[in-house]
Amino acid sequence: MHRVPIFTAVADLVHHVKNDLSASQLGRIVCAFSAMMHKPSWGYNLHIVFAKMMFGLVDLIVAKETPQGAASLLQALLETCLAKLESLAVVYADLRDSVEREKEKSSVGDASSDVLLIEKARPSCGAAYAIEKPEEVIHGQ
């Protein structure tokens, strides 16, 4: 995926200039990367890059932002992570059910049809997990 090196470079840039960023720039970075964490078409490796970069800014947010502004940004960051965790739990349950249904089948049916049914239930965009084998996603391969 060609986006990974680009966003990794942006995260490295933010890390190197983070001490020079203003409170409003920190807020915009958190808002932008929080929104990108919920794009299902991007792989989990990018979501991890976004989360690491945002968590690397927590100390600066507390230092540079007003107490109310820092509390608001940190709450937004926490809510983003909780929403991502909830969505991962739903996807995991769907994939686990798909694997179980496939195990129960004795015929040589199309294994991708169950995953495609899960993907069609998603609101928009194709999800990265839909092109992977469910067994590999669940077992971390």
Domain ranges across the chain: 3-138
What backbone phi and psi angles, to 5 degrees, belong to 37? Answer: -65, -15
What is the pTM (predicted TM-score) of this model?
Answer: 0.64
Structure-token match 């947010």, residue found = 61
Q: How confident is the model at residue 44 (pLDDT cuts 50, 70, 90)?
A: confident
By C-alpha distance, which of 49, 47, 50 is closest to 128? 47
Mean of all residue pLDDT scores within the chain: 78
Q: pLDDT at residue 141 above 60?
A: no
Helices (H), the chain: 3-17, 23-36, 44-55, 58-64, 67-104, 112-120, 134-138
pLDDT tens-digit readout, 60-112: 999 999 999 999 999 999 998 898 888 888 888 888 887 788 777 755 555 55
> Which tokens belong to 130?
């839909």
